[in-house]
């Protein structure tokens, strides 16, 4: 990929996405579940650009959504209603109502209180709302605490006893139709055993429900497959699928898998331009035009991203902090990172930026968000233009007082 040409045409900072890589990742995961009824539902939160969602839609993907805005994006991108799931801890009444009215596959319910709201709204609409219940199996996913979701310390899902009680209530309700069960223990998972253990726990719950004539159709395993940022040992999709399928003996259910990062992270690159180098005492800084408002993961999680310097000089490596223009000491992409001497307008390519990159961006310091470009079959196209100052003030100017 010619990042210099892309930067010349579209400017920096810039997000670049390799759609061919996304295709290969999707096909590999779909193939892993071959022979079993399955739906791959792309986790829209990973990268919600409409062109990205449409790319997966054309391959037959569904969509896992965590806001009604993401549900609307999924419809706009061509995902059919029967492949859309609405998850998330804090759904408003308006969101629940719209999800029911749009007749999506099901709503993932995260608490007894939420189940009550779904039932009440479905009753007002005189329908039976299809639901799944998110079970929290209390399994340590062995990942970053901010992206761990399967322990009782986390806000997600309900414990096994509560889940069973909720299924019985839903089954006895005229306005609820329990069709699935869901679990998701965390993101960036690199160990198979926690996934297998969680699947076993949830599959046993399905069997206990089946014994009292509550028959579920969908076994929703969430997402979370890890990707390589640095030197992680990864789970192979085939092994992942087999570990889950091995827990479903005697159960005829459709597998629903919700990958996000796995599909898009390593397809994405964040390209930023060197402005200056500076020295403060013994500390060397490389100041670039991208910032934490463009790519937050290093500041938020202290996340590692491999960084490549596009410069003729590859020798004389020294450790530098790579920082942006935002007025925060937390505005950095890497600390003590080995790079060669850099000149004004040299480019840095920050890799593995296709998931939780642009979507977590902001306009902090009144900075417009970056442009986004897709590259497919060797051809580049703009899929979101760069924000300008007028975009940033458009929702404010008419409210200015004289």
Residues 6+ apart with CB under 8 A from 75: 81, 84, 102
98 is in an annotated binding site: no
- Give the C-alpha separation, 121 to 138, whole Å: 30
Measured in degrees and rounded to the nearest 5, phi and psi for residue 211 equal: -65, -20
SS3 72: helix
- Give the C-alpha separation, 272 to 51, whole Å: 22
258 is in an annotated binding site: yes
- Give the C-alpha separation, 311 to 315, whole Å: 10
Alpha carbon 82 to its chain's center: 20
- Identify the bridge partners of residue 351 per DSSP, sorted by sequence position: 269
Q: Where is 221: in which H helix or E strand? A: strand 218-222
297 is in an annotated binding site: yes
Answer whether 351's CB lies under 8 Å from 337's CB: no
328 is in an annotated binding site: yes
250 is in an annotated binding site: no
259 is in an annotated binding site: yes
Measured in degrees and rounded to the nearest 5, phi and psi for residue 226 equal: -75, 160
- Give the C-alpha separation, 297 to 354, whole Å: 11
Answer whether 289's CB lies under 8 Å from 326's CB: no
- Give the C-alpha separation, 41 to 151, whole Å: 23
224 is in an annotated binding site: yes
Q: Is 65 a catalytic residue?
A: no
Give the active site residue among 327, 377, 396, 402.
327
306 is in an annotated binding site: no
- Give the C-alpha separation, 194 to 185, whole Å: 8
186 is in an annotated binding site: no
List the beta strands (DSSP E) in 110-196. 129-134, 176-182
Answer whether 350's CB lies under 8 Å from 270's CB: yes
Place of tokens 């390209």: 271
- Could you tell me which residues are annotated as the binding site for pyridoxal 5'-phosphate? 224, 258-261, 356
Q: Provide the annotated active-site residues.
A: 327
- Could you tell me which residues are annotated as the binding site? 224, 258-261, 297, 301, 328, 356
- Could you tell me which residues are annotated as the binding site for substrate? 261, 297, 301, 328, 356
């Amino acid at each position: 990929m010619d990042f210099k040409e892309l930067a010349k045409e579209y400017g920096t900072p810039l997000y670049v996405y390799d759609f061919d890589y996304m295709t290969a990742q999707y096909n590999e995961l779909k193939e892993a579940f071959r022979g079993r009824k399955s739906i791959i539902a792309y986790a829209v939160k990973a990268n919600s650009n409409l062109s990205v969602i449409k790319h997966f839609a054309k391959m037959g993907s569904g969509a896992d959504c965590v806001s009604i805005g993401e549900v609307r994006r999924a419809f706009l991108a061509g995902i059919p209603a029967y492949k859309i799931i609405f998850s998330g801890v804090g759904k408003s009444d308006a969101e629940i109502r719209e999800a029911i009215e749009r007749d999506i596959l099901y709503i993932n319910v995260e608490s007894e209180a939420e189940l009550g709201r779904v039932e009440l709204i479905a009753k007002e609409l005189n329908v039976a709302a299809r639901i799944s219940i998110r079970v929290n199996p209390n399994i340590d996913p062995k990942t970053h605490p901010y992206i761990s979701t399967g322990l009782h310390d986390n806000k997600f899902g309900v414990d096994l006893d509560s889940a069973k009680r909720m299924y019985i209530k839903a089954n006895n309700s005229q306005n609820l139709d329990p069709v699935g069960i869901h679990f998701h223990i965390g993101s960036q998972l690199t160990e198979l055993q926690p996934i297998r253990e969680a699947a076993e726990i949830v599959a046993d719950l399905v069997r206990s429900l089946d014994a009292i004539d509550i028959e579920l159709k969908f076994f929703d395993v969430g997402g979370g497959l890890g990707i390589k940022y640095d030197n992680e040992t990864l789970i192979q999709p085939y092994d992942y699928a087999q570990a889950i399928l091995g827990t479903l003996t005697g159960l005829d259910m459709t597998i629903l898998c919700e990958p996000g990062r796995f599909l898009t992270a390593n397809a994405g690159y964040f390209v930023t331009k060197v402005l200056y180098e500076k020295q403060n005492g013994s500390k060397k800084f490389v100041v670039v035009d991208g910032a934490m408002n463009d790519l937050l993961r290093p500041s938020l999680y202290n996340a590692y991203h491999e960084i490549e310097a596009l410069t003729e000089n590859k020798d004389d490596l020294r450790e530098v902090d790579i920082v942006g223009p935002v007025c925060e000491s937390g505005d950095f992409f890497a600390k003590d990172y080995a790079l060669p001497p850099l000149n004004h307008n040299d480019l840095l390519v920050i890799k593995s930026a296709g998931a939780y990159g642009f979507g977590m961006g902001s306009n902090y310091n009144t900075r417009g968000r970056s442009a986004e470009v897709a590259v497919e079959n060797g051809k580049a196209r703009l899929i979101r233009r760069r924000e300008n100052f007028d975009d940033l003030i458009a929702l404010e100017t008419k409210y200015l007082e004289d």
